[in-house]
Amino acid sequence: MATNYTRRSYTASNGINLQIIKTAASNIKLIDLGGNKNLKQSGYTGVNGGFFSWNSGNILSLAKCDGQVLCNSNNWLGAAAIYWNSKALNYINGERQLTASEIPGTLRSNTWAQGGYYMWLGANDAFNRAMNEVNQDDGGYLTQTANGRTALVADIIHQNVYLIVTNSNNTFTTFCRAIEEYLGITPGSVPSGQFHGVMLDGGGSSQLCEKGTFIASGDQRMLHEAIVLRNDT
């Protein structure tokens, strides 16, 4: 059973409700659900992962665990990734042309990498920075209002990971502001050096489960990839 984590619920001053799991980076793994299960049916504690194609089931943003690429994903939708190389938690952004094999130190067991849209937490102009990073081609994921959104946030100082889901109606900016408020980040002219986030799939895909129970359910759709706790059964 999943241990060594905390779960919190937080409603920010802008009305966005966040469901949050915090755990050590070493306690994270990525799994392939094959489009056959939602997160509750998987039995894991965790959140939904990368954007996926309805037609092929391929993950549109990079997903890699224990040296293996998941769900035929080797893509850089969003141009960013958070990764754990079994020793340190780190991030890459602005690297749309990299492949999974080029992420440092992730060819062995107890490693992982998750791609998405870099969130520029702490920057007043986070939305503009995110759009510029993908050359204004966001696929609608940044510009559209969503009824759910998911993020993976790395605290690279303390080597912790936050898995964060909202099922509140939100925009990229209101979601970022709610997360910043929870983490105690004061927005300014430069992004945070401590916290680095990637935005993952949203809408009905945004799910968070604890020990096989929905805390945030989205529309309970079947998923292809999920980010879960490694010490779960």
pLDDT over 90 (residue 97): no
Coil/strand/helix, residue 37: strand
pLDDT of residue 60: 87
- pTM beyond 0.75, yes or no: yes
Selected residue with higher pLDDT from 79 and 9? 9
Percentage of the chain beyond pLDDT 90 is 79
Q: pLDDT grade, residue 183 (50/70/90)?
A: very high
Q: Which residues pair with 160 in a beta bridge?
A: 24, 155
Integer angstrom CA distances of residue 203 from 104, 197, 209, 221: 31, 18, 16, 10
Greatest CA separation for the chain: 44
Selected residue with higher pLDDT from 5 and 79? 5
At residue 225's C-alpha, the angle toward residues 220 and 231, to 5°, is 100
- Give the torsion sign (CA, 106, 155, 142, 47): positive
Picking from 71, 137, 61, the residue whose alpha carbon sits closest to that of residue 99 is 61
pLDDT of residue 213: 95
pLDDT of residue 139: 87
Q: pLDDT grade, residue 1 (50/70/90)?
A: low
Integer angstrom CA distances of residue 25 from 132, 170, 179, 197, 214: 29, 27, 18, 13, 22
pLDDT-wise least confident of 13-17, 74-78, 110-114, 226-230 = 74-78
pLDDT of residue 233: 54
194 backbone dihedrals φ, ψ, rounded to 5°: -95, -45
Q: Supply 74's token pair.
A: 């080797």
Domain boundaries, the chain: 5-229
Q: What is the pLDDT of residues 52-76, one digit of tens each?
A: 887 777 888 899 999 999 988 877 7
